[in-house]
Amino acid sequence: MSRGVLIGIAGGSASGKTLVAAKIYEALGPDGVAILKQDSYYRDLADLTPEERARVNFDHPDAFDTPLLLEQVSRLLGGEPIEEPIYDFTRHARSERTRRVLPVSVVILEGILVLAERELRALMDIKVFVDTDSDVRLLRRLRRDIHERGRTVESVLSQYETYVRPMHLEFIEPSKRFADVIIPEGGHNRVGVDLLATKVQAVRNERYAEAEAGVAPGRAPTGAPSTGRASNRADAGNRAVESDRSRNPMRGDLPRGGSLEVICGPMFSGKTEELIRRLRRSQIARQRVVILKPSIDDRYDVDHLVSHSQIKIPSLQARSARDVLEHGREAEVVGIDEVQFFDEGIVAALETLANEGRRVIVAGLDMDYRARPFEPMPQLLARAEYITKTLAICVTCGAPAGRTQRVTHRGERILVGSSEHYEARCRRCFDPPREEGAE
């Protein structure tokens, strides 16, 4: 199995590190990527008195349990799951609970001081410093702490002068010289983020190739299609299988007995891209592929499957589950987009296609704009061998987002035919619509 790729993202308080991490996560697709925060590794101060705690400098490297962070990052990169601590900022103590992080092929580690620690740097494949002007950072911090944490201007400024600024100058700013890449303006720097994502992808591919080269011929695992993190296998292992497949394009090693793969998530989470990616691989492997979408979906183009980022692949329209069965029987690999728009007969049709030995890959919205399960997705998820949940980025706060928010404009002049649009939101920022007639 290949060793994971570690990308470290440092930068001052409120520099936009979190947004950069979220954007890279988004650009890579959530498949096989985990974000770790240095903040989770604050030392447990439960044993200190409140007075002692008040004197602790949380911007100093000693505030962090770096040995634990090092150990967990190493284990994760080596393919072992970890129990990431959850820090309770109200008590300045570690919570009893932990967050289980499964092995992934890319770990994004973000925090103010991640480049200040030599041993952490030694593990990193790519070191990034997010460089944002100190006045901008102070303004953001003032807004955030006053608005979200109910603090006074005076207390925020005093903390900034006493701890944040001196520690920034002593530890954070000097760590910039260790960076491979310095990103000005954080997550809003699209070119910078795209370049980084491309580089991470390249390093990841190199790792797969290396790992593969180390596998003796004939011992290579066969049969498993590409899967997401929700499957019960370690992600990195699946990735190795995928690259194996791409290097043996004539083998066509489909699993016997067929399978059903479901890619699901909110709008803007890259479901169609992921579907296209898998179908393209099958085409390269010279398998007979048929691509179908419901005929009501003519958003962009009637003859192609088109993702939001304008990746295209030719597709057929199907009016019903019967159409799907008919067209699907002509292929070895059947791909379906927007599967939630078919009626419930689709479940039986897809089961039949998979039972007859085909690889069936479907993508669809798992929840409607009320955050209720979208039939027939629950039926398909229950029957699928492999499930990939894609997440978008919350347009409000930048966190990974699993919900689709409907936004209606009342009293605004609408240029195009629709009076509403949709955006991705996280659980916290999602605002469920009121029941019809309740206004």
Binding residues vs Zn ion (CB under 5 A): 394, 396-397, 399, 426, 429
Q: Which is nearer to Zn ion, 264 or 392 (CB)?
A: 392
Q: Which is nearer to Zn ion, 209 or 429 (CB)?
A: 429
Q: Which is nearer to Zn ion, 203 or 397 (CB)?
A: 397
Spatial distance between the Cα atoms of 31 and 104, rounded to a whole number of angstroms: 8
Q: Which is nearer to Zn ion, 56 or 397 (CB)?
A: 397
Contact 358, 328 (CB under 8 A): yes
Q: Which is nearer to Zn ion, 116 or 394 (CB)?
A: 394
Single-letter amino acid code for the residue at 48: L
Quote the least distance from Cβ 400 to Zn ion, whole Å.
9
Quote the least distance from Cβ 22 to Zn ion, whole Å.
10
Of 236, 229, 196, nearest in space to 4 by CA: 236
Quote the least distance from Cβ 25 to Zn ion, whole Å.
14
Spatial distance between the Cα atoms of 311 and 304, rounded to a whole number of angstroms: 9
318 phi and psi angles, rounded to 5 deg: -120, 135
Quote the least distance from Cβ 91 to Zn ion, whole Å.
24
Token pair listed for 174: 């000097």
Quote the least distance from Cβ 398 to Zn ion, whole Å.
7
Q: Which is nearer to Zn ion, 103 or 266 (CB)?
A: 266
Phi-psi sector, 309: left (phi>0), alpha (psi -120 to 50), beta: alpha
Place of tokens 């699946």: 238
Cβ neighbours for 401, distance < 8 A, ≥ 6 positions apart: 266, 269, 391, 392, 393, 394, 395, 424, 425, 426, 429
Radius of gyration from C-alpha coordinates of the chain: 24
Quote the least distance from Cβ 396 to Zn ion, whole Å.
4
